[in-house]
Structure formats: structure tokens, C-alpha cells
Structure 1
Amino acid sequence: MSPLIVGIALLIQPIVAGAVGWIAYGERLQGADWIGVALVAVALVLVRRAEDTIDTSDLTLDEIRVSLAPGIAANAAFDGWGDAARDMAAEAAGIDRDVARLAFSGGAVDMIDAWFAHIDAAMAQELPPERVATMKIRERIAGLVESRLDALAPDREALRRALTILAMPQNVARAAKLGWRSVDTMWRMAGDTATDYNHYTKRTILLGVYTATITVFLDDDSEGQADTRAFLSRRIDGIMRFEKAKAGFVKRYEHRPSLSRFVGRLRYPVV
């Protein structure tokens, strides 16, 4: 709360209180009464200000980032991913601007990073493990991507600005890392435990699908993002066909004739 607002409140509240007293009791407040009303008004303002202010002494910088990320994204749609968006979010949350600046010392990319982490957390909250466990694998992937898009929907313009920043040459490596983190989170939530080459192929393919879906999502004016959902459904169908074909190829490879296995059986015949 700004000092100007506090000052105005201090001026107005005693006057309003005095008017109410006059109307209610039909008599004017005397000088001492006005002082008492003013002191009560000051106390109320200070209490309200204390309630609106977050005590950052017990918060880590990571917790501050999580706290500010949604507010920064909301401001970024109008003010961009810069100091103004960060400072307004900090003021609204009752966090000192200098502390907020320290929390996002890396600038815009750090703010975007925190927001994407917040979106991942919102996705996980929307689809808890017990709910995901009841779905088929295709439904899990589609549901997770759609849940993430739903979380992004209120701040699509902020997302558009964020992607513009991440596309800058100096930010490409960080952008790839953030994209990989998101698809890795989705596959892990879907129950994937692969540690072989499948771990990488699944995430690489989903990253391509998700990136393509985002481009449709940003300009989708259809009701309920119907066009985006239809596009995503077609892409996921493609993933499922690829995974099925890959599984068949691996199975055939494992059962093809092998000279080493044949020689091994000659040396150590199966009894």
C-alpha cells in the first residue's frame, strides 16, 4: 500500500466516522472525540497495511519467485517482461521491490522460467496422480497438454511476449531447457519410467507436438480453443501410431536370426 493511499485514508476515515456519529447520535463530536476517532482510524489503517504486507524475512528467493510469477505474467501482457511488471507484482504482494529484483536477477528469462514452473504446478494440481492413473496413455498425454494450455489461456499475450524473448539468440539454450522440462514433467506425470533411448525419443516427439500446438493456440479464437484441441488430438494420434510402429520394429529386431546366438547354442546346447 502506497504512502499516498495511507495518507488519504487517514484524512478521510475520521471525517466519515464523525459524520456517522453525528447521524447516529444527533450530536457533533468534540475535539477530544475527534482525536480518539483519528487514533482508531490510524490503528485500522496500520493493521490493514500489515495484513497486506508479506513478511519476506521467512521466505526463500525460490518461494518469492513462485509467489510473484502469476502477478508478473498478468502485468507482462501490457508492460512486457520487464522491471515494471515485476515491481507492480511485488507491490501488489507486499514484497519489497529490491527483494523482488534480487529474486529475478537474471531479468526477463528468470521471470518467464518462474511462470512456466508455476504453470507446471497448476497442471499437476489439475490432474493429480490418482486421476491420471485411471486414464489410458493417450488420454493422459492429451489431458496434461490441454491442462497446461488451460492454465496459460488467461495470459496468452504474456505467453506470446515470453516466446519472443526466448527466441532471441542469447536465450535459445535456456528456451530449450525450459521446453524439455515441461515435456519431461508431462511424461513423468503420465507414468513414464523409461531410462533407455525411449526416454529421449518420447520427450523429443512431444516437444515438437507441444511447440506446434502452441503456435495454433496463440491465434485460436474458436470457442473453448476447439481448433487447438482438434489439432492436438491429431498430433497425439500420430505419436501413438509412431510408438506402435516402433514397438513392432523392436520386437521383430529381437527375433531376427542371430549368428552369435546360433554359435552360442552350438557351444552351450540347451538341454
Structure 2
Amino acid sequence: MLNAPIDPMLDQLLDAALPHVAFDGWSPATFDAAIKDAGVNPAHAKTLCPRGAADLAIAFHRRGDAAMVEAIKAADMKDMRFRDKVAHAIRLRIGAVDDKEAVRRGTALFSLPHMAPDGAKLIWGTADAIWNALGDTSRDVNWYTKRLTLSGVYSSVVLFWLGDDSLDMQATDAFIDRRIDDVMRFEKFKAQVKDNAMLKPFSATLARMTAGVKAPPSVPDVDLPGRWREPNP
């Protein structure tokens, strides 16, 4: 999680790995080179990163999330509409990336079948970090739908951004606005369905079905897909 302590040696390994990622990807060769360049004991490195460079790729993504959260806290967004706050948060997350090629290589890594669950967890984690930083207080089914929707938006933005060669990423900025507009239109449609007299029996049934859905306990790694742990008593 973002607020978990990070071993300084993991940061050291990650910094040493990044220059190699552009050439070798998040690979064993990159991991071995990072160990050598950082002067880290190989046994300690394997303890920090049991899966080698894959764990460094995860650390790289979470480093970006942490930088984004700090940028959101420092930003003056009090006069923004909420949709603009979300769009701005996505821009801050993209802006937190100081190595685009590392993201490109990470996208390729997390598209592999055995790494796809980790990729989904990271995207969900980014969406969760954005909503939390923006003050989301939902604890019902909306907790899930907000993060699910934003995960889809953010992942599509990253793919678009990776191929964007426009001046100052203007095309990505426009794409973010379009995607947020799509979400807002969907939210408006949901509200219209809820208020439609003919559909109220269906809406009421759906509300009863989801009434028991609650956000997971706020303990490390629980609020991400694929993980569930009961909080300590």
C-alpha cells in the first residue's frame, strides 16, 4: 500500500534498474544488472524482490502512485468541478512518470497471462488512490463501481498516452476529457434510469440486491482485487 514503509534498498535497486529497462525490459538481465550497479547483496535483493524485475516493475508503479497522491494533496482544486478534479488527478498520475519507456515495458510485462492479475491489481490501486485522495467516502456498492469505472478510464488513458507524440501531450489531455465525459454521461443515464417510473420496480430490486455490498475493511492489501483478509480484532 502507498503508506507502507519502503525499504531504502528497494528504491536503490529500482533506481539502478531503470537505465537498463529501456534495453532489456523488466527482465532477469535488468535485475542482475541492478544488483551489480547498486552494490546490493544478491541474497538480500532476492528477499526484497522474490520475482526479480517483476517486483521492481510493481515498485515502480507504486512509486508513481505515491508521487501522484502527494501532487494531489499539494494541488489547489477547490474551485474545480468534481469531474475536473478526477481528470486533473489522472494528469498528475501521468505527470508523475519520469520514464515513459519503463511504463511501456511494464505494460508489456503485465499483459502476460501470468502477470495479468498483478497488472489489474496495480490499476485498481491507482484508481483507489485517486478516489481516496479526492476524499471519497462511499462504503457501499458505489465504492466498487467508482474504482472499476476509473480503472477502465485510467488504463485506456495510459495506452493512448504511450502512443501520443503530440506537442505537450495535447492529444492525451483531450482524450482524458473525452473519457471523463463518457463516464459522466453514463452516470447521468444511471440517474435517469433510477428516476424512470416504468423502471422503478427493476431499480428497487437492484437496490435490494446490492444493499448488503460493503467496501472491504481498510487494512493493507484488502481493498484490491484478489485479496481479502479479516482485520485483526
TM-score, normalised to structure 1, is 0.64
Q: Which residue of 2 aligns with 1:165?
A: 109
Instruction: Give the partner amino acid of 1:227.
Output: A
The CA deviation at 1:209 is: 1.2
- Paired residue secondary structure (2:96): helix
The residue number in structure 2 matching 1:175 is 119
Matched-pair contact (CA < 8 Å) for 2:31–2:52: no
TM-fit CA distance, 1:232: 0.8
Taking the aligned partners of 1:87 and 1:134, their CA distance within structure 2 comes to 49
SS for the counterpart of 1:195 is coil
In the alignment, the residues of structure 1 paired with residue 53 and residue 38 of structure 2 have an alpha-carbon distance, to the nearest angstrom, of 19
Give the drift of 1:84: 3.7
Q: 1:127 aligns with which of 26, 47, 72?
A: 72
Q: Mapping of 1:65-76 within 5 angstroms?
A: 65-76=10-21
Residue identity in the other structure for 1:207? S
C-alpha change, 1:219 and 1:86, in structure 2 (3 Å) is same
2:148 corresponds to which residue?
Answer: 204
> Which residue of structure 1 lines up, in the alignment, with residue 52 of structure 2?
107
Distance 1:140 1:93, change over 3 A: farther
State yes or no: 1:213 paired with 2:157.
yes
What is the aligned-residue RMSD (CA, Å)? 2.6
Structure 2: distance between partners of 1:227 and 1:159 = 18
1:73 to 1:132, Cα distance in 2 relative to 1, 3 A:
farther
The structure 1 segments of at least 4 consecutive aligned residues displaced by more than 3 Å after TM superposition are 60-63, 86-98, 129-135, 247-253
Q: Which residue among 205, 222, 225 is the counterpart of 2:169?
A: 225
State the distance in 2 between where 1:165 and 1:171 align. 7
- Which runs of 5 or more residues in structure 2 are unaligned? 202-233
Moved more, 190-199 or 131-140: 131-140
Q: Which residue identity does 1:219 align to in structure 2?
A: G
Show the 5 A alignment for 1:71-150: 71-128=16-73, 131-133=76-78, 135-150=80-95
Q: Report the Cα offset of residue 74 of structure 1.
A: 3.7
Distance 1:117 1:161 in 2: 15
The alpha-carbon deviation at position 129 of structure 1 amounts to: 6.1
TM (norm. structure 2) is 0.73
Q: State how many pairs are aligned.
A: 196
Ranked by relative contact order (alpha carbons within 8 Å, sequence separation 6 or more), the top structure is 2
Q: Partner of 2:80: helix, strand, or coil?
A: coil
**One-letter amino acid matched to 1:128:** K
| Kept after mapping to 2: 8 A contact 1:129/1:189 | no
For 1:54-73, list aligned pairs within 5 A: 62-73=7-18
**How much identity, in percent, do the aligned residues show?**
36
Q: 1:205 to 1:148 in 2, by over 3 A?
A: same
Alignment check: 8 A CA contact 2:27 2:54 kept: no
Distance 1:181 1:72, change over 3 A: same
- Evaluate the alpha carbon distance shift between residue 69 and residue 248 of structure 1 in structure 2; reply closer, same or farther with a 3 A threshold: farther
Q: Please point out which of 133, 136, 142 is paired with 1:189.
A: 133
- The structure with the greater share of residues assigned to helix is 1
